[in-house]
Amino acid sequence: MQISQELSLPTMGCGTWAWGNRLLWGYDESMDDQLQAVFNLCVNNSVTLFDTGDSYGTGRLNGQSERLLGRFAKEYLGPGKEDICIATKLAAYPWRLTRQSMVSACKSSANRLGRNVDLVQMHWSTANYAPWQEGRLLDGLADLYEQGLVRGVGLSNYGPKRLKRVHQKFVERGVPIATLQVQYSLLSTYPVTQLELKGVCDELGIKLIAYSPLALGLLTGKYSDKGPFPKGIRGLLFRQLLPGIRPLLASLREIAQLRNKTMSQIALNWCICKGTIPIPGAKSVEQARDNIGALGWQLDSGEMAQLDQAAASVDKVMVQNIFQTK
């Protein structure tokens, strides 16, 4: 039976995408109270969309991100509690081969959350490496909506060609696609400028969610091409990108100073002005408060043009997700 309540998304989400990465690389239970405070601050300021995934947390931490998020939602008692929208992404694991595997996966996510999933999303398309697998997983996604187990369905890392095919498949079953999630920021404009996804989403009535809107922190002004750099692969990436994005960072800094805002707030507001829903991560109250400062105002056309030009002039951009299709 199809549910009648329409999924409604806020203008900006505070994503657990960053929490998911933290959980993968060493979960510290001492941070739980801090993360609860982050969650409370967000909802209290009308930021009520929280994005996670069933792959965020592995080994002994299996599904830990969902468990935490469900607990935070339950323990929050302030205004906006009824507006909390929890979105999770189901991984296209190689052992998920049937439509029932997706239904079971979502039920497991709901069990960890302690509540139904509001928005269930296909974490990535298998079209680039196992196209035969995708159809059954998508059928399972649609089954979840038809059975009333979720309020909406979405996709992640899909390009316009694949999106149109899946949209038509779902139209035939009467299942609307609510959202599409892609990597999008001033350092990753590819989905919009080259794939032209925003226009396709507008045409199909799909809201575009921008993950990694701060480009792993490169757009916050926290890092310099002189260092220090993060450890590991992230540090190597920063060493490659930072020298070439000086003009972009200079534009962000200039506008931030004139606006009395932070560089992060300018970068997030740019995403909002582009008609997307950014989902920045926040692991501290300070980060969450900074993210919230991107709401309630808009960059003007001149500032947007300046940032667009600066973004187009960088010699190296963020590496695209390997699962992003065309």
Nearest to 181 by CA among 163, 161, 199, 204: 163
- For range 273-299, the mean pLDDT: 93
Return the active site residues. 56
CA–CA dist 16, 276 (Å, integer): 17
Task: Give the lowest-confidence range in 21-25, 215-219, 229-233, 278-282.
Answer: 21-25
- For range 112-119, the mean pLDDT: 96
Asked if the model's pLDDT at residue 60 lies above 80, the reply is no
Structure tokens at 147: 């059975």
- For range 65-81, the mean pLDDT: 93
Q: Please provide the average confidence, as pLDDT, over all residues in the chain.
A: 89
160-171 helix and 131-146 helix, angle to the nearest 10 degrees? 40
pLDDT of residue 10: 52
CA atoms within 13 A on the CB side of 51: 31
Going along the chain from its start, the domains and CATH numbers come out as: 17-313 (3.20.20.100)
Query: Where residue 320 falls among pLDDT bands split at 50, 70, 90?
Result: confident
CA–CA dist 66, 54 (Å, integer): 7
pLDDT of residue 7: 54
Residues 6+ apart with CB under 8 A from 262: 220, 221, 256, 290, 293
State pLDDT tens for residues 121-159: 999 999 989 999 999 999 999 999 999 999 999 999 999
